[in-house]
Amino acid sequence: MANLRTWTFISLCVCGALALSLSGSPARADEKADLEHISRIRKLSDTDNTEALKQLEYLKQKQLSKSTPKVRLEALKVMVSLYYDAGRIQSALNSIAELKTLAESEHDQDGAAIARIMESYALIDDGKPDDALKNLSQISAGLHTSASAEVRMRLQSAFGSAYYITGNFAASLQHYLEALRLTDELTTRKVENRMYKLDAIAKLYTNMKDPEKALATIDEAFSLSPLSHSPKTAASLNISQGIALSALHRNEEAGEAYKRALKLATEAGLASMAVTSLINISDHYLIMNQYKQAENYARQALKQAEVLKDKQSIAVARVNIGFALAGQGKISQGVELINEVVQYFLDADQKPDAEAVLGEQAAMYERAGMFKEALQTVRHQQKLSNELFRSDRAKAVAALQEQFHAQQRQKQIELLAKENDLKDADIRNHRQQQIITILAAILTVLVGAFLFLLYRRVKRINLQLREANSQLEFHAVRDPLTGLYNRRSFLDMMKTRIAQAEAERRDAQENNPDCLILLDIDHFKQINDGLGHAIGDAVLMEVAHRLRKAVRDSDMVLRWGGEEFLVFSPKSSPFQSAGLVERLLQAVGTEPVMAGDKEIQVTVTAGFISLPFSDVPESVFGWEKVLQIADMALYLGKANGRNRAYGISHLLVPSDRALPVLETDLSTAVANGMVELIEVSGPPKLDLSVSKAAESHTGMQ
């Protein structure tokens, strides 16, 4: 009886509240009209930011002081966005402060949270991403459970931007995907926000060295454009498209995309985006070695960025001017500018930007014949790369990418269906909609508890299924003992190289091919037979750990089989490959392996070679044949005393003469002067009494 009275009371309260809401009032009618006016201005800003800002400033001056707090809060949120797009940064910061003060005075938790999120973006723009992450973590911890989808989406997007700047791409992708999911829960500007999130994810994919996936994501965003008609979004998408095309060496198409973005940004009054477009056009001309044009566009960008007081754009424009000057032979002037900007990025904890500039600077030194400076810069870049990336990132990113792309097509279909439903709903009679709302509210109260319990059960089952699927995906491509990638994962990757043949030919011309390094543990059978398989497994796991620590995050370490390992190092020039091989030999052999109470010296012998090899197309001399030669080089190292590596640098005679011999007998090819051989020595042998005892027991040399 008590429960029945409770449900009856709740139902009466709901009905009473809804009945009161139907009565309406002139104030609410005015509020609705004001909100619709602001919405129209927001829509206008997508095509003409200057005119939209002019109308909104006029509205604020003449009318907003008499409007409700809800209207003033909405106007300030829109005003911040329009000021940023116009490049009026100080005006945007003033509006954020005004929004925060008003929201706190009205106890509007959503408005206050949005203001604090906007403050975090300002910290990111000011080169303080770590402070922004602290601020966002505090917002997330204090977020009320009834926070709107807009607040949660903005928070996830801000996290994605902050992690992107600091180089934590896996975390950035996770937050951007959650922001993308939350766009489905928005009540306004759903399509526009979905396009913004897809644009951010596309930029992230390009930085994660996956420009093909970036282009696919941009195409998906463009497929939504008929629903939004937004030059603002189209300009940003064109910039993202240009960056991805440039990464694929489709330079002419990239330049056209940047110029489309500049035209759209200029016509729509988007000063900040115009600066970004100018910087990317400057990048394009640097890639094309047209240094005078690059300097011209970079100086235009610098001039406009200084007017906007945009520190990030000022830094990038200055570094482009530096590279343009160096390309024109003014090395000292260019280097001075470049070094200043690198230091700025490091001081601002923008390590991904610093690492990218160092890579370009090393290539600049190499083109100028300044090899000592090039080597020093490469070492600095590698140190930054090791700080930026972690070995577990690949697994997390792969899982997130799979989750994202499995949902995209279905999400788009659902989005279009919801848009149609909203249009149909607007046509219905308003009074009939109110009656349906009352009935639905009563029904919701009665069945809510049952649905909540059912939802929790389904959610728990789905979570268990996702966890199980994630485990299956991981073990399908990993070696169970060492945790390294297995042979199958490498074979799957090599299947895609045929589709990339054109890009590889360009890379080969730039003397920047991939590298395959095959390694084998010396005397491993004697370790297994003399000390037991448990010790052998411990040695395998430790060697895997040392190899993984010694390589770049972009390199792939595999257990090829038994005691053999394979390292795939993309985009490694010949002198970088030799340095990497030396680092691998030292990493394994310098310190003894501890197995229980035993100290065992473990060394490896390796063979390494470039892919494609010596400018021979992969359609003629594919990865299987290249790996076969690396294997012969490895056994040449075994025959010459172990604890060393031999690399096949390039052919010294025409390929039609050398390859038939090389495929069957490496020693003959070397003896006849057909190939150039590189030798890399391992570390000196340790003097370990325990290991000597083990050698005496097992017969190791």
Cis-peptide, bond into residue 617, ω within 30° of zero:
no
**β-bridge pairing 604-611 and 644-651:** parallel
3-state secondary structure of 420: helix
Cβ-based neighbour number of residue 70 at 10 Å: 14
Q: Is 292 exposed, middle or buried (0-12, 13-18, 19+ CB in 10 A)?
A: exposed
Q: What is the DSSP letter of 643?
A: S
If you ran DSSP here, which 8-state letter would residue 188 be given? S
Tokens of 313: 């754009």
Question: Do β-strands 556-561 and 514-521 pair in parallel, antiparallel, or remain unpaired?
Answer: unpaired
Q: List residues with catalytic annotation.
A: 563
DSSP state of 685: P
Give the SS3 label for residue 74: helix
Residue with tokens 């992690």: 163
Q: How far apart are CA 521 and CA 589, in angstroms?
A: 10
20, 504, 514, 633 from 613: Cα distances, Å:
79, 11, 9, 14
The alpha carbon of residue 83 and the mean position of all alpha carbons in its chain are separated, in whole angstroms, by: 28
C-alpha angle 224/230/234, rounded to 5°? 75
Residues near 244 by beta carbon (within 8 Å), at least 6 away in sequence = 202, 205, 206, 211, 212, 214, 215, 218
At 267, list the tokens: 């016509």
498 sits in which H/E element: none
* Inter-CA distances, 132 with 53, 118, 161, 240, 408, Å: 27, 10, 10, 24, 30
Strand partners for 675: 651
Q: In a 3-state reduction of DSSP, which class is residue 290? A: coil
d(CA 476, CA 489): 8
Cβ neighbours, 10 Å, residue 534? 11
Determine contact, residues 177/163, Cβ cutoff 8 Å.
no
Dist CA 104 CA 111 (whole Å)? 8
DSSP classification of residue 46: T
